[in-house]
Amino acid sequence: MARVADRSSAKPRRSKPLRAFGVAPTGRHGVGSAPVRLLHTYIVRLHLVPFVLGFSVVTFILVMDVLFDYLDLVVNRGVAPWVVLQLFALSLGYIVALSVPCAVLVAVLMTFGRLSQDNEITAIRASGIHLGTVLLGPLGAALLLTIGLTLFNNHVLPESNHAFANLLIDIGRMRPTVKLQEGVFVTDFPGYNLLVQSVNGRTNEMRGVTIYQLNPGGPPTTILAKRGFLSYTPDGRTAVLELEDGEIHDIPAEEGGPRKYRRLVFKKHVINIAGAGGILERTVRQTRGDREMSAHDLLSERDTLLAEYARATQTRRERFLTMGLPRDALAALQPENAPISFRVAAGIGRLFRQPDPLERVARRVPPLRSEFELWRVERDAYRKRIAGLSVEIHKKFSLPAACVVFVLLGAPLGMKVRRAGPAVAFLSIAFFLFYWLCLIGGEELANRLAAPPWLAMWLPNVVLGIVGLYWTAQVCEIMMPWTARPRLDRGAGAIAAAASPAR
């Protein structure tokens, strides 16, 4: 009785017993549907705190990469803090798209690690509930996150990236010296090249100014000044350079006479560069980058480029045929539409840096080498642009799909780890780093035309998804067709011997 009393007075476990959530066995018929729904809700609720924690930590790590750049705008460049804060908020769009899948992996690893450590996984199995049904709640939540993140990538993220780019240009117009780099030629002003030795972003003051004014049909005019200020007119269309203590070196073009060298010394000299602000404004208002467009806009632009590429290819084919190119060599003009054997051989050749098929055709027909070189430059420009658009399209869907992949990967791994500590952090960083490196490497391969964009963007999901499915099947004791079934004769004999009463 003393032993029973000791057990009853023991300190309760920190996790609630599964019976409190209605998952205790209900006889030989197993568990009803209502208790199982309560179990799903309980497990999904356990993911909330680890998800928020993982999201905050990952976002903070990614933000630290650009935080000092924003602080430099406030401290050294004199940009208003509220403007920098707005710029920082707009830059969070892409960081959120990366943080959510990693936060899912952290939450799943911590939740199932805790369930396994508290022996709740064992209790669920003893209650007659299949572990596959336990994963339905996290998988459903991950699917909702995937849909939400896909909508975010297609509607919110492009607009935030576009607003971010616009605000950067606005900051450059509010504080022009933000765009100036010390010791680097600035060619943004039409008709002028500007070089400064030092820049004070708070006062917009430049020191050691060298300006080359480009004169059509003649040598440039050189303007040197010890100090200078760069500003814009109120309408923002004209840049104003106010120079002090300088010289102007000029060689005037005089018809019918010898050339003369002219040197002018000034105390103050003002240069108005018309159209400098207008160019920036037109670029901001009318154009968008790849990451500033939705999937629909990217598809429309890609279809337009594909049509232009097809017309250019057809024109080149007809031109080369009239110039005597054999028909069997036409496949090298557009290798992506060639037979599969030709494409595989070309892809392997690019990996091993073998000559382009067009180069081999040029060796066969030397008189057309210059034409082939021009077409290769034009063709590669089209293909790389189309590949870049395709990469962005697939990335908008492959990155959200990682939420489901990480649930399949993290749940069985968390059950095996059995600890929600440093091991979880290490595994989360390791798997997400592998995923991120594969994504970056795949994007680079696609941009270099060494791999199809769809394969480059979906390969990390496919690889980790297969590994996650295999581990999930092992933990849930699902027999795969290729898995050898265990022999039950010895195990059955041992169970029968243990169950038989001792004589």
In Å, what is the CA distance from 2 to each residue of 8, 10, 459? 10, 12, 62
Q: Say which DSSP state 224 is in.
A: E
52-78 per-position pLDDT tens digit = 998 998 899 888 878 887 887 777 666
CB 58 within 8 A of CB 153: no
What pLDDT is recorded for position 141? 93
Lowest mean pLDDT among 9-23, 104-118, 347-361, 447-461: 9-23
Helices vs strands, H then E, count in the chain:
16, 5
Q: Is the pLDDT of residue 324 over 90?
A: no
Radius of gyration, alpha carbons of the chain = 33
Across-strand partners of 209?
A: 196, 225
CA angle, 246 then 248 then 254, to 5°: 170
Share of the chain above pLDDT 70, in %: 71
pLDDT at position 8: 43
At 430 the pLDDT is: 82
pLDDT at 418: 60
Distance CA 156, CA 106 (A): 25
Does residue 310 register a pLDDT over 80?
yes
Check residues 450 and 384 and name the one with the higher pLDDT.
384
Q: What is the pLDDT of residues 134-192, one digit of tens each?
A: 888 899 999 999 999 999 999 999 989 888 888 887 776 665 555 677 888 888 777 88
Is 90 exceeded by the pLDDT of residue 100? yes
Average pLDDT over residues 369-379: 80
What pLDDT score was predicted for residue 177? Answer: 56
Query: Residue 270 pairs with which residues in a beta bridge?
Result: 242
Asked if residue 415 has pLDDT above 80, the reply is yes
DSSP symbols for 107-173: HHHHHHHHHHHTTHHHHHHHTT--HHHHTHHHHHHHHHHHHHHHHIIIIIHHHHHHHHHHHHHHHHH
pLDDT for res 318: 82
Residue 455 reports pLDDT greater than 50: yes
Mean pLDDT (the chain, rounded): 77
pLDDT tens digits along 251-272: 876 654 556 778 889 999 999 8
**pLDDT attached to residue 398:** 93
Evaluate if pTM is beyond 0.75.
no
Name every residue whose Cβ is closer than 8 Å to that of residue 347 and which is 6 or more positions away in sequence. 450, 451
pLDDT tens, residue by residue, 108-137: 988 888 888 888 888 888 888 888 888 888
Q: Quick check: 17 pLDDT over 50?
A: no
